Structure 1
Amino acid sequence: MSERPGWWIYEGTGVPHDGIERLPDPPPWRVFDADATPTAPQVDETPADALRGDRYRPDRETVELVNAAVYLRRPLLVTGRPGTGKSTLASAIAHELRLGRPLRWNITSRVTVKDGLYQYDPLARLYQTKRGDAGTEDLGRFIRLGPLGTALLPADRPRVLLVDEVDKGDLDLPNDLLTIFEDGSYEIPELVRQADHSPDASVMTADSTVRVPVHNGQVRCRAFPIIVMTSNDEREFPPAFLRRCIQVTLPQPDAEKLSAIVGAHLDDLAQSSADLIRRFLDRRDPGDLATDQLLNAIYLTDQAGRSGGVDRLQLAEKVMAHLSRRSDDG
């Protein structure tokens, strides 16, 4: 990547740094509860998260748009073909900016916004009531925040949240998310109802056993989270939703980019894999292939070839099966 502009916070290098400390105040229309006491627990990234972040190689335009979202406190809507690194982008941002383990919310057709905010276990509470503990119960024991709810907790540094395959959700999901993203806050009705006699509760977060306080059933973010939403372009989103997102389309890597990706994952095998990269590009033209299929093929053929008598290209094609056929094949 050429010389990096000085305003960039996320540089796309994979090298961890504290650049997030240079982030200026948000624009006036994106100020949330700046005076809130930080309550979000620090959750360290896993070795697997660190590895993904270290090896991710974004293009310059992607880095610039990530920075736009960070500065403007807006969610990223990331599209691209399978294997272009949509989901890995969240790990790369969290790793480089030292923001801990990225939260992940996988979207299905049955998911609602409430699922992302919190889960309440009424059966466990009923069991406690039957035991005669209802009078002294802490309702927070039966509530666990979801990935989105955890990301919105007051924090010194923003958490990174991956909302994976948002286009698979219910038709109302984008508009429901829009409300949460604009407010940067939400209510837990079960706690609101008891706020007059018990305003404070302690709830568990999505990715930690640490309990955090919730006052009057209200959660308001202090620093808006860095939200990466991925989409496979399976549906159109409402214009109101799109204009409040920073939209990123990840391009399919060319030969030079593929060589860099192979080098990042498989060290020196990139130099001896030019033929497999060419075959991958040839096969990608009529049908979708993912970059990890190329990595699998290079690793497999290298290992198998050490015993001799292996047709590398033929073996590689067996693990580079098309994921789908292009609609304009003929």
Structure 2
Amino acid sequence: MTWQPFYAGHGRAPEQARRLDPAPPWREFPRRPLHNEFVPLPGLVEAVNAALLLRRPLLLTGPAGSGKSTVIEQVAVELGLGPVLRWHITSRSTLSDALYRYDALGRIHAQRLEGRDGSDDITPFLRMGPLGTALLPSKHSRALLVDEIDKSDLDLPSDLLDALERGEFEIPELARYTEDVVHIREWDGDRRHQIVRGRVQCSEFPFIVMTSNGEREFPAAFLRRCVRFTMPQPTVEMLTRVVTAHLDDGAAGSATSQQLIATFVARLEKGENLAVDQLLNAVYLLSTSIAPDEGRRRDIEELLLRELSRA
């Protein structure tokens, strides 16, 4: 393959549709797990094992694109924990939504359609949330990613404390329900789990990874219940291993790739905000067989490696 300007800017339709070159491995769809490509940073293996043995959440802090959310994929595969449950945090996220979801309006609407003599079954309108599913009793722990917890409302980390400490919670709508035993859908599929009198009590504490970009401080009571690890500043050696894992030895060892890696590390040391996936994009386009000529190379490098703190 060679660099081809698929888009020329003339607005004329081709005689037949052009097929794009194959995508980079990390942009293939359906998305594939990256557990084989992830390279643990120094100290991370010890932090993961401490969290596993102590049954404590692992709080990973580091810049965007440093691999924080990929750690759990590798752990889940190596320990056979099954598919990773994911809870993506926003400023509107609440503990209640993470534990379970109740569609009260949907239930009222269904009752009106069915009439007074219709079924009043509550179970179709309840679903476990990602945290609630992780806390369901099971023979093996589940893996839960709580992504970007520093984006949450100020109270959410404190709200999490009781659920994480006790490993149990109540679903009030079921505690008041006429049936003692119901079966509720889990978060990540159609499988249903038995809930007795509205109580959920975990039997194996889940492996929980919480990620933070370091944009806020957390209460001491929350921090002491976590195993904390800060992603170290990448080095040339570390990034060469990352590039090799995603592409191959030839791409990582080329002069162009090594120059990109060295420049990337130097910019990080100056305090610039850059993500590792930006480097992977640059290496893929500029040091493989699709690389453009020297005249275009500098413009594309500048385009792909723009600092993240500005638009």
| TM-score bucket (shorter structure) | 0.7 to 0.9
Please state if 1:212 is matched with 2:193. Answer: yes
Distance 1:236 1:213 in 2: 38
Matched, 1:175 2:158: yes
Give the count of matched residue pairs: 277
Q: Which of 69, 78, 94 is matched with 2:60 structurally?
A: 78
* Alignment check: 8 A CA contact 1:289 1:322 kept: yes
Corresponding residue for residue 153 of structure 1: 136
Q: CA deviation at 1:90?
A: 1.6
- Closer, same or farther in 2 for the Cα pair 1:171/1:255, shift >3 Å? same
| CA–CA separation in structure 2 for the residues paired with 1:280 and 1:102 | 31
**Pair member with larger Rg:** 2
1:94 and 1:274 map into 2 onto residues whose CA distance is 32
CA distance in 2, matches of 1:62, 1:296: 25
Q: Describe the shift of the 1:167–1:308 C-alpha distance in structure 2 as closer, same or farther (beyond 3 A).
A: closer
Q: Tell me what 2:4 maps to.
A: none
Cα RMSD, aligned residues only: 1.9
Secondary structure (helix, strand or coil) at the match of 2:191 reads strand
Contact persistence 2:65–2:277 (CA under 8 A): yes
Select 1:253's aligned residue among 234, 249, 256. 234
Cα separation, 2, equivalents of 1:148 and 1:222: 14
Report what 1:226 is aligned to: 207
The residue correspondences of 1:30-109 to structure 2 (distance < 5 A) are: 48-50=31-33, 52-109=34-91
Structure 2 unaligned residues grouped into runs of 5+: 1-28
Amino acid at match of 2:103: D
Q: Of residues 293, 302, 308 in structure 2, which corresponds to 1:317?
A: 302
Q: 1:77 to 1:309 in 2, by over 3 A?
A: closer
Q: CA deviation at 1:139?
A: 1.2
Map of 2:183 onto structure 1: 202
2:267 maps to what in 1? 283
Deviations 1:14-55 (A, max 9, x none): xxxxxxxxxxxxxxxxxxxxxxxxxxxxxxxx97453x1111
For residues 68-101 of structure 1, give each alpha carbon's deviation from its aligned partner in whole angstroms, at most 9, with x where no partner exists.
0100100011101222111111212112222111
Q: Provide, for residues 134-182 of structure 1, a one-character-per-residue CA deviation record: whole Å limited to 9, x for no partner.
A: 6643311110111001110111111110101111111111111011001
In the other structure, the counterpart of 2:147 is 164
| Equivalent in the alignment of 2:172 | 189
TM-score normalized with structure 2 length? 0.84
Report the secondary structure of 2:132's partner residue: helix
Tell me the SS of whatever aligns to 1:55: coil
CA distance in 2, matches of 1:285, 1:83: 16
What is the TM-score of this pair, normalised by structure 1?
0.79
By how many angstroms is 1:307 displaced?
5.7
Q: 1:72 to 1:308 in 2, by over 3 A?
A: same
**Matched residue, 1:30:** none
State the alpha-carbon separation in 2 of the partners of residues 63 and 146 from structure 1: 29
Unaligned segments of structure 1, at least 5 residues:
1-45, 326-330
What corresponds to 1:11 in structure 2? none
- Rounded to whole Å, the distance in 2 between the matches of 1:165 and 1:65 is 19
Work out whether residues 286 and 292 of structure 2, in 8 Å CA contact, stay in contact via their aligned partners in 1.
no
Determine if contact 1:74/1:227 at 8 Å carries over to the other structure. Answer: yes
**Letter of the aligned partner of 1:285 in structure 2?**
E
CA distance 1:310–1:159, shift in 2 (3 Å) = farther
Tell me, in whole angstroms, the C-alpha distance in 1 between the residues paired with 2:150 and 2:233: 20
Write out per-residue CA displacement over residues 265-296 of structure 1, whole angstroms, 9 at most, x where no aligned residue: 01131011111111212232331111100000
Q: 1:83, 1:237 → 2: CA distance?
A: 22
Q: 1:166·1:231 contact (CA, 8 Å) conserved in 2?
A: yes
- After the TM superposition, list the runs of 4 or more consecutive aligned residues in structure 1 that deviate by more than 2 angstroms: 46-50, 132-138, 282-286, 302-315
CA shift at 1:308, angstroms? 3.9
1:294 equivalenced with 2:279 (yes/no) = yes
Taking the aligned partners of 1:167 and 1:144, their CA distance within structure 2 comes to 26
SS for the counterpart of 1:124 is helix
